[in-house]
Amino acid sequence: MIIGIDLGTTNSLVAVWKEGAPVLIPNALGVVLTPSCVGFSDSGELLIGQAAKDRLQTHPKQTIANFKRYMGSARECELGKRKFRPEEVSSFVLRSLKADAEAFLGETVQDAIISVPAYFSDAQRKATRAAGQLAGLRVERLVNEPTAAALAYGVRDAGSERKFLVFDLGGGTFDVSVLEIFEGVMEVRASAGDNFLGGEDFLDILVEDILASCQSELCNNDLSPGDRQRLREAAEKMKRTLSAAPLAELSLRLRGKNISYSLNEDRYIELCDPLLQRLRIPVERALRDARIRASDLYEIVLAGGATRMPIVRKLVTRMFGRFPVTTLNPDEVVALGVAVQAGLAMDDVALDEIVMTDVCPYTLGINTSQQLSGPGGAFVDGFYLPIIERNTVVPASRSKDVYTVRDGQPKLGIDVYQGEARLVKENIPLGKFVIDMPPGMPAGGAGANVRFTYDVNGLLEVEATVHGTNIKGSIVIEEHSGVLSNDEIRERLDALASLKLHPREDVRNAALMARGNRLFEEALGPARMQISRALAQFESILGRQEPHEIATAREQFQSWLDSFESSPLIDA
Ligand code: AMP
């Protein structure tokens, strides 16, 4: 069985293709959204999901969120005294989703398809694949998130003929894809995006505005990590309130001061205007590249939790002159589509008629020199030579010839970049290698054929062959500091094996304790004492290790916390 995983910035989901349809798999808490949060429990086990999310506030140094933003970089994530790479932290989430899938399916799971933002770079894709390997999964394929969302919609009506656009705004990334369906063939015509734009940026703006407007109460804003997290959570609630009501209010006690703040939609639009303008750019580029007019689109499909924001939906409606489609839940649509992709990979008969083609969303090329005009003009380095142009259908293989620029030049350096700018310094470096040139050749007399091969997973291989010989050089993009080599993955796999997930049967208890502790920190006065007593009571029942008694106490504690959390006492 191949499982499909949507590894999101904020939430992750796992799904399978079962009996001719995609099915979302619940986690140990019985819900399909697992917060992409990781932490260590007090006993040193890994806590994933809601329990870790609740501990972000109470144990900020032992807990982490938003690490998808660092994938493909060498940035270290600190968890207590230990440091991990972003792909290692992601692998913990994947391990937990794998365990959920195994519990649901009643069998061991080894193969997975994982979705990535279409605009993820080579290093970010390799980091995602490494995260899968570190979680003990064979990553059968990476699939672009908007392509998966399109599959979820398209599979229901594959016989029709239409063009549509997927607008996918997640927690940390934004992707746009324009697709065409024709007789079961679903073709991505163009993708564009922004890897650093998502719902979290809309939250950052809100947090900054709250801090700015409460500056006098907060004396220079120096909040502890726990207080900052508390403010972030309160701001996240406001952001969600604004998705359902015209006004959101916040009252919070921070550093011994009462903070109040309110926000209506007009002001939020004003604050977020720079972000809203950034959303337009990839939409325009994707339509232009696909050579499709907005009026030719049959539907605009929304994916990603941040498309729930009315300010985003209004922008989409204004841009296209019509309402977007939301028949599938935007939080779930990518995972459903990855499960369809898993069904395709397993050659399920129900999907016999469906073929999906995708594109490489950005241009890939190398550094070259250009000769200034005039006789004997000097060579100037640093110009971009595109080899695979953006929105080429994948898999793709393209090559270009490059030549020496000096007499007797002993080596040719091949520097690989991704991006659209004319000068390489404005593009993203992916890696480099050097090949030897035959000796004694005049300038331009020796050269190499540089071939780029980009596969369906969006992974790139580069090979250069010296003209007139069989001498080849190929890039080891793994040498990029943001990418682990296979040896490093093997080494780390052993080290990570010693870290154990919090026992699955106990996750609900751990999540309730984490939630109770968070509420204790949020509350004040008598309310606090009530929580403290309830926590102590539940903890003592856990200590007695009587499964029946624990189950009953858990139900009671949970409904008590539900009613407590919905009462206005918390922020008093
Ligand atoms: P995803 O990565 O697709 O799970 O998207 C998560 C993002 O969606 C986060 O930034 C959330 O704050 C945002 N989000 C989810 N639900 C809502 C909502 N009801 N209103 C506003 N933003 C939301």
Task: Find out if CATH 2.60.34.10 is the number for domain 362-472.
Answer: yes
To the nearest 5 percent, what fractions of the chain are helix, strand and coil? 40, 30, 30
8 lines ligand 1 (CB under 6 A): yes
Q: What are the structural domain ranges in the chain?
A: 2-197+273-359, 362-472, 523-571
Question: Cα(201)–Cα(197) distance, rounded to whole angstroms?
Answer: 6
Question: Which amino acid appears at position 412 of this protein?
Answer: L
Question: Cα(326)–Cα(330) distance, rounded to whole angstroms?
Answer: 7
Q: What pLDDT is stored for residue 201 in this prediction?
A: 97
CA of 165 to the centre of ligand 1 (A): 20
Question: Cα(365)–Cα(462) distance, rounded to whole angstroms?
Answer: 10
Helices (H), 135-198: 145-154
The CB density around residue 543, as the number of other CB atoms within 10 Å, is 9
Q: At what angle do helices 86-105 and 122-134 cross, to 10 degrees?
A: 50
171 lines ligand 1 (CB under 6 A): yes
Report which of 403, 417, 390 is spatially closest to residue 464, judged by C-alpha positions. 403
12 lines ligand 1 (CB under 6 A): no
Whether omega before 395 lies within 30 degrees of 0, making that bond cis, reads yes
CA of 311 to the centre of ligand 1 (A): 13
Q: What pLDDT is stored for residue 569 in this prediction?
A: 46
Pocket test for ligand 1, best of 331, 332, 334, 338 (most atoms within 8 A of CB): 331
Question: Which amino acid appears at position 426 of this protein?
Answer: E
Which residues in 72-85 are b (16+ Cβ under 10 Å) and which e? bbeeebebeeeebb
The structure tokens listed for 501 are 């997930």
Using an 8 Å Cβ cutoff, are 74 and 88 in contact? Answer: no
> pTM, whole model, 2 decimals?
0.91
CA of 237 to the centre of ligand 1 (A): 11
Q: What pLDDT is stored for residue 564 in this prediction?
A: 85
Could you tell me if residue 219 is left (phi over 0), alpha (psi between -120 and 50 degrees) or otherwise beta?
A: left
Q: What pLDDT is stored for residue 570 in this prediction?
A: 44
Q: What pLDDT is stored for residue 353 in this prediction?
A: 84
Per the DSSP assignment, residues forming a β-bridge with 261 are 250
Question: Cα(77)–Cα(84) distance, rounded to whole angstroms?
Answer: 5
Question: Which amino acid appears at position 538 of this protein?
Answer: F
Using an 8 Å Cβ cutoff, are 122 and 94 in contact? Answer: no
CATH code, residues 2-197+273-359 = 3.30.420.40
Task: List residues with catalytic annotation.
Answer: 6, 68, 145, 168
173 lines ligand 1 (CB under 6 A): no
243 lines ligand 1 (CB under 6 A): yes
Using an 8 Å Cβ cutoff, are 147 and 156 in contact? Answer: no
Cα angle 47, 52, 57; round to 5:
145
Q: Parallel, antiparallel, or unpaired for β 162-169 and 299-303?
A: parallel
Strand segments (E) across 304-395: 355-360, 364-371, 379-388, 392-394
Cα angle 458, 463, 468; round to 5:
150
Query: Of all protein residues, whose CA lies closest to atom 1 belonging to ligand 1?
Result: 170
Report which of 314, 305, 398 is spatially closest to residue 360, judged by C-alpha positions. 398
The structure tokens listed for 39 are 């932490």
125 lines ligand 1 (CB under 6 A): no
Chain-centroid distance of CA 1 in Å reads 24
Nearest ligand 1 atom to alpha carbon 9: 2
Kindly list the averaged pLDDT for each block of 10 residues, start to end, along the chain of length 572. Answer: 96 96 97 97 92 93 94 92 95 97 97 95 93 96 95 80 94 94 91 93 96 80 81 94 94 84 96 97 96 93 96 96 92 97 93 91 94 80 96 96 94 93 94 91 94 92 91 67 83 89 89 93 86 93 91 94 73 42
Chain-centroid distance of CA 12 in Å reads 9
34 lines ligand 1 (CB under 6 A): no
CA of 306 to the centre of ligand 1 (A): 4
Q: Could you write out the three-class secondary structure of 2-49?
A: EEEEEECCCEEEEEEEECCEEEECCCCCCCCCEECEEEECCCCCEEEC
Question: Cα(278)–Cα(58) distance, rounded to whole angstroms?
Answer: 35
Pocket test for ligand 1, best of 203, 302, 308, 338 (most atoms within 8 A of CB): 308
Per the DSSP assignment, residues forming a β-bridge with 466 are 448
> Radius of gyration (Cα) for the chain, nearest Å?
26
Report which of 539, 524, 511 is spatially closest to residue 570, judged by C-alpha positions. 524
Whether omega before 26 lies within 30 degrees of 0, making that bond cis, reads no
Could you tell me if residue 260 is left (phi over 0), alpha (psi between -120 and 50 degrees) or otherwise beta?
A: beta
For tokens 């120096």, name the residue: 222
Question: Cα(190)–Cα(361) distance, rounded to whole angstroms?
Answer: 7
Q: Could you write out the three-class secondary structure of 240-292?
A: HHCCCCCEEEEEEEECCEEEEEEEEHHHHHHHHHHHHHHHHHHHHHHHHHHCC
Which residues in 45-69 are b (16+ Cβ under 10 Å) and which e? bbbbbbbbbbbbbbbbebbbbbbbb
